[in-house]
Each structure stands twice: as structure tokens, then as C-alpha cells.
Structure 1
Amino acid sequence: MKKFILAAAATVLVTVTINQASAQTTDTTKKETTTTTATTTAANGAADVVGALNSNSDYTTAAAAVKTAGLEGTLKAGGPYTIFAPNNSAFSKLPQGAQDSLMKDPAKLATVLKGHVVSGKYGKAEIIAALKASKDRKVPLTTLGGEALTLSISPAQTLVLTNATGATAEVTLYDLVGGNGIVNGINGVLATK
């Protein structure tokens, strides 16, 4: 009887040890899989800022405008760039016929779009750091078109862009990442007067 009890106890001990080892192996595998997935997801940005722009369906008009204006080649090479891209709704707010007129005039469209692009990478973290470092909470930038663009905080605590002519837009989306920069979405077209 003692031998039977000892044999049963040994069997239970071996079974428990095997189950614990199996559970530890399973947990380790799960942790490794989760870590790998998170790393892969974080590293899977678009190849460039044009690809980042094309990755969000709320920016199809801006993506089409970049192509029509002949800026794809410029924005796919070099950088880093930050595009403050008007969303589809922003383009629809333009005065009647203005969007069609712009799309039919690639040179004028390119001028307007260059007023939305700056050299450098300004994601949400970089913008917050720049605003905190600024005494007056305004960050001056220069667009690819050579115009002044200012980032500031509105009374409603939102990030606002203002161009040299006084046109403003609010940042509504941050950090669409591309290999050579970043796209932030805005709710207005910063057209020149």
C-alpha cells in the first residue's frame, strides 16, 4: 500500500511539474509573440510621406492634389518633411468652384500645397516640445514655398496653424508616419489671398 501511495504521489508530482513547465513555455511564447507583433506594427510606417497621406481615406483629396500638382516626386525623395494635410472636409469647405479651379491649375495648386509642407519632422511629441520651449507658445516655421507658418495654441487648447496671410486651420490628426517624415491632418485649406 505504501508503494502504491508513493507511486501515485510521484506520478502526481511529475504531472504537476510537466504542466507547470508547459504553462511557462506557453506564457513565454505568448509574450514573445505579443512583443514581436507590437514591434512589427510600430515599424510598418509608409515608405514615404506620400504613402502616409494615402494610408488614410480622410485625405484622398489631398493625395489627389499632391499628384495633380506634380509634387509626388519631391515629397517621396529627401526630407524629412511634415505635411499639414487638409482633410476631405476641408477641401469641401472651399468656396464653390475653388477646388475644381485649383485642380485644373497644377502650378497654382502646387503653390497652395507647398504652403502646407515644412522641412523637418513635427509629430505630436515634437510639436509639444517646441511649444513648451517657446516663450510665447508660438513656433515659427517656413514652408516649402518659402512662406511663414506659425504653430500656436488656441484659447480652446487646440493646435492652430496660421499662414502669412492670416488663414488658419486646426490640427485634427497627428502622426501618420512615412519613411521620410510625417503627416498631420488639418481642418482647413491654408489658401493664399
Structure 2
Amino acid sequence: MRLTRAFAAALIGLAAALPAQAADKDIVDTAVAAGDFNTLAAALQAADLVTTLKGEGPFTVFAPTDAAFAALPAGTVEELLKPENKQQLIDILTYHVVPGAVTAADVVGLDEAPTVNGKMIDVQVDGSAVKVNEASVTATDVAASNGVIHVIDQVLLPPEG
């Protein structure tokens, strides 16, 4: 997969449209400060992953918005947040994390990426649109002190098995 000039320009334009981010905050604090990731923050806490994502990294997080979590079938989030479902929640959340700092410019040769979960995510580029599995990337390169956040509009579910 080759990065076209139009795609590169679109990514640069998308990154420029984001509010300035202070890279002195870690991934968790950056997401919390954005205000649109309350469900993700609650899920990270329930899964005991906050300390990990506050760690040295670097990490790349494909962060679903509150609206993405709200689009799941009714009761799904509440069920996942129960202590007895902690491992399933960990599996889902770690499927949103790629080791290393993968910026929008790094998409050049990617058609998939390994996640912390151990499973691969698909990366598709179509003109200026980028998808991770079926989720659209709506904002890129939100800088954090220990990595980068890309905002997505759906919760990624790891493949079975």
C-alpha cells in the first residue's frame, strides 16, 4: 500500500485541525482531558490498564469515543464493566493498542498492525479515508508524552480464537 500525496495532505490537514495537544500528558490523561473518552477511561480503570497506559510506552491507541461505545448493543458496556468480565474487557481494550508510536505518516506501508492483544488489526486507506478494521479514523496524531492517539468511531472487537 502506497501513501498518495492526496492522502498525506489530507492527514496533515486533519492533524492541523485538531486542537493543540500538550505532549506533557500521558495517553490516559490526554484522553480524559479531551472530554469525549469517559467510557474508555472507565473501561481502562475496570480492566486495571490505567497504570500500563500511563507507563513509558510508546503506545499507539485507537481510541473509541463515547459515541462509539454508545453505539454498541444496549447493555454491552455495563456487562463488560462487571468484574466477572474483566478478561474479556482486557482483550477488547488491548486490541485497540499497538506497541510503539505509529503516526499517520507511518501508514505508508501498512495494511495491518499487531496489537498488544496479540491479534492483528487491518488498516485500509482509500483516498483520504483511513479505516482500522471497520472503524473510521476521525482524528490522527493526538500527541501524548508516551505515544499517540488516533480517534475512531467504533469499538474494535478482536476476532475469536
- Is the TM-score greater than 0.5? yes
Instruction: Provide the residue aligned with 1:174 in structure 2.
Output: 140
Instruction: Provide the residue aligned with 1:57 in structure 2.
Output: 35
2:71 to 93, 108, 113: 93
Deviations 1:150-190 (Å, cap 9, x if unpaired)? 21113x6310012xxxxx20101112211110111100011
1:110 to 90, 115, 132: 90
Classify the secondary structure of the residue corresponding to 2:111: strand
In structure 1, distance between residues paired with 2:56 and 2:87? 21
In structure 1, distance between residues paired with 2:140 and 2:156? 18
Instruction: Provide the residue aligned with 2:9 in structure 1.
Output: none
Deviations 1:87-109 (Å, cap 9, x if unpaired)? 11110110111111111122211
Contact 2:28 2:53 in 1 (8 A): yes
TM-score, structure 1 normalization: 0.66
Distance change >3 Å, CA 43–CA 114, structure 1 → 2: closer
Q: If you compute each CA radius of gyration, which structure gives the higher value, 1 or 2?
A: 1
In structure 2, distance between residues paired with 1:112 and 1:61? 13
Superposed CA RMSD in Å reads: 2.0
Q: Map of 1:156-167 to 2, 5 A cutoff? A: 157-162=128-133
1:126 to 106, 111, 120: 106
Classify the secondary structure of the residue corresponding to 1:55: helix
- Structure 1 segments of 4+ aligned residues over 6 angstroms from their partners: none
Greater percentage in helix: 1
Classify the secondary structure of the residue corresponding to 2:143: strand
In structure 2, distance between residues paired with 1:89 and 1:42? 22
Aligned length: 139
Deviation of 1:43 after TM superposition, in Å, equals 8.2
Distance change >3 Å, CA 43–CA 59, structure 1 → 2: closer
In structure 1, distance between residues paired with 2:57 and 2:156? 21
TM-score, structure 2 normalization: 0.78
Identity, % of aligned pairs? Answer: 32
In structure 1, distance between residues paired with 2:33 and 2:106? 22
Instruction: Provide the residue aligned with 2:6 in structure 1.
Output: none
User: Which structure 1 residue ranges, 5 or more long, are not aligned?
Assistant: 1-40, 163-167
